[in-house]
Amino acid sequence: NIVQLVGNDKVRIQTGTLATEKSNALEDSLASTFDVSIDSIDTQIVGPSWGKEITRKALYGLIGFIAVVMLYLAMAFEPKMAIAAIVAVIHDVFITVGIYALVGFDVTPATVIGFLTILGYSLYDTVVVFDKVRENTRSITATSKMTYSQAANLAVNQTLVRSANTSIMALLPVGSILFVGAGLLGAGTLKDLSLALFIGLATGAYSSIFIATPLLAVMREREPAMKALAKRVNARGGAMVLTTTLPTSSDIVEKRGPRNQPKRKGRK
């Protein structure tokens, strides 16, 4: 049996399957123990069909979300950006689900809503970085100043402070709901959603920088055009070696013309 305190005046008791007689006896025992009426005790039966239904709807929502995201990114940016973004999103989901399972919280509809919410946040952070990557690589093959990986790294550096500030500001209210609301105040109905959001926001903050962008750079660097660009950039960098030779005193004298000769002082 699992006994949980929900708020300040509610207790949740989770048991295995009980017969009708045992369920009624348990209700009578709870009513006499806590000095409440039978009507204030709510009994719900959660079977395997309910869990399967939630799992099925969650999978449908996840598949639909991924399909729409890939279509949008492929049209707005490029297909390889869509692939990199989806890999980062799937990473966020796996990390969040894994930590959620380790904690041992029950999977509720609020949990599913939290999972879908973090997908949108992770995608938003990734799109911001990818937009800067697209801006830096718009005419990269014509200028030959840097490789695609260098341009992507520059985009990450340009958006790093913004991403960090956005993630911190998003984690602060969610963390207050999780640790203060659900932990200290005992608002148990908020812990499912807040835990999923907190883990998802934290993982989405680094996945857009350390997973999505490097994966995009690896895929683009395999293209023939980007390989040729890398060769040109490396060759140009190796050839740009400046050498300076200081002139000697004889060279200075030879280069001086009549006008550059020092004037002699006249005799008095």
How high is the pLDDT of residue 245? 44
pLDDT 10s digits, 145-194? 889 999 999 999 999 998 888 889 888 988 888 887 766 666 666 777 88
How high is the pLDDT of residue 265? 56
Burial class (CB in 10 A: 0-12, 13-18, 19+), 253: exposed
List, in order, residues 6 or more apart from 30 with CB less than 8 Å away.
13, 36, 41
- Domains, the chain, ordered by start: 2-40 (no CATH), 48-239 (1.20.1640.10)
Both tokens assigned to 152: 């992507």
List, in order, residues 6 or more apart from 183 with CB less than 8 Å away.
191
Report the alpha-carbon distance of residue 88 to residue 204 in Å, rounded.
8
4 touches 12 (CB < 8 A): yes
Both tokens assigned to 172: 């602060």
Which portions of the chain are predicted below pLDDT 70? 1-9, 16, 45-51, 182-189, 237-268
How high is the pLDDT of residue 87? 92
Report the alpha-carbon distance of residue 230 to residue 212 in Å, rounded.
21
Both tokens assigned to 56: 């099925």
Report the alpha-carbon distance of residue 237 to residue 86 in Å, rounded.
35
